[in-house]
Structure 1
Amino acid sequence: MVTGQLLGLSMFVTYILSKIRAYKLYRQTVSELSELSDRELADLGIARFDIARVARESAFA
């Protein structure tokens, strides 16, 4: 029984850490894209209002 509980705890911690990493990637992507000019974003095919969506798709896909 203890082994099962440890496995469950380990899986939970792994899940939480993966969500934290994804959120950090999301914030980093938003930050980096926000620093680009509208022209640079257009070259990438991204409108400024799409930054959050693009970052979300990148981090949580």
Structure 2
Amino acid sequence: MSTFDEVNNVRPAINNSIGGYISGVSARFAQYRTYRRTLEELQSMTDRELTDLGISRHSVRSIAYRAAYGG
């Protein structure tokens, strides 16, 4: 009977680790989509529009990165 108990104790741990992995991948993909969407939107703006927002063309990538990943 101890073998059955040991197997039952392992399954929740495996399910939690797989669920955590999938959740992490999903979160990273959502961050990447946010980065790409922000980058594309800022790159599509004219220099005048960016200047009105106080953004220079060369800082667009770093702004998109901070919007998606923080920091």
Q: What is the total number of aligned residue pairs between the two structures?
A: 61
Tell me the TM-score normalized by structure 2.
0.82
Residue 7 of structure 2 corresponds to none
Q: Percent identity?
A: 28
Unmatched 5+ residue regions in structure 1?
Answer: none
C-alpha displacement of 1:51:
0.6
Deviations 1:8-58 (A, max 9, x none): 110110000000011011011010001111111011111111110000000
Larger RCO of the pair (alpha carbons < 8 Å, separation 6+) = 1
Unmatched 5+ residue regions in structure 2?
Answer: 1-9
Bigger Rg, structure 1 or 2: 2
Kindly report structure 1 stretches of 4+ aligned residues shifted beyond 3 Å: none
Tell me the TM-score normalized by structure 1.
0.95
CA RMSD of aligned residues (A): 0.6
